[in-house]
Amino acid sequence: MFHKEGYKIIVIATFIVGIGIILIDSFISISWLNKLLAICFLLFYVIILQFFRNPKRNTQLNDNVIIAPVDGKVVVIEEVFEKEYFKDKRLQVSIFMSPLNVHVTRYPVSGEVIFSAYHPGKYLVAWHPKASEENERTTIVIKNNVIGEILYRQIAGALAKRIVNYAKPQMQVVQGTDAGFIKFGSRVDLFLPLNATIKVNLNDKVTGGEQIIAIL
């Protein structure tokens, strides 16, 4: 199953690979070179397909927990001052996605979207300390009736050139469902209340839509 954001790119990649293999067979008579180039085209195609995969996730709906919005590795767990929306101290949990991870963004909680903003910016590597404030990014706040307001931020990385965000103000969203997509590697930051009990550790690999990040 592939994400809808990849359909156009997959069609283009299919065309390029098909034409490329036809041209290789037509104009390159050296057997080893012919096979090598064909393998390179096929590897390129497999990478594109893998990047846009969208596996189903079994989300256990629970208003007392915040789940991972994306697949990846936990690279930050710290208390910070969140200055865009809350303007107070929060617990930040950041998840880094490599190009090999699933890049679908999923809602970490159910509730009403009360804030959604896009910010153009740089393309620093996603683990750079200033990436959260200087890179291209979106900021989304969801109000949950049990745990209050949760903020998550999609952040572009050095390779990511497009952030897709489906969250719009006044939308009612369901935990674990499709919230967007970030193309070609990046990170997502969660900003949680200080009384949240974090259930992951640094360098843990998490599964979006399923794994519990914190409990309130």
The pLDDT tens digits for 59-117 are: 999 999 999 999 999 999 999 999 999 999 999 999 998 878 888 999 999 999 999 99
Alpha-carbon span 210 to 145, nearest angstrom = 20
CB contact at 8 A, 161 and 184: yes
The CATH architecture of the domain made up of 65-215 is Distorted Sandwich (2.70)
For the record, the structure tokens of 22 come out as: 């036809």
Within 13 Å, how many C-alpha atoms sit on residue 148's CB side?
A: 10
Amino acid at position 75, single letter: V
Q: At what angle do helices 7-27 and 31-51 cross, to 10 degrees?
A: 180
- Contact by Cβ (8 Å): 63, 200: no
Active-site amino acid positions: 186
3-7, 54-58, 143-147, 192-196: least confidently modelled range: 3-7
Per-residue pLDDT tens for 168-205?
999 999 999 999 998 766 889 999 999 999 999 999 99
Q: What global pTM score does this model have?
A: 0.85
Strand order in the sheet with 148-156: 172-173, 111-119, 137-144, 148-156, 186-192, 88-97, 72-82, 205-206
Sequence spans of domains, the chain: 4-51, 65-215
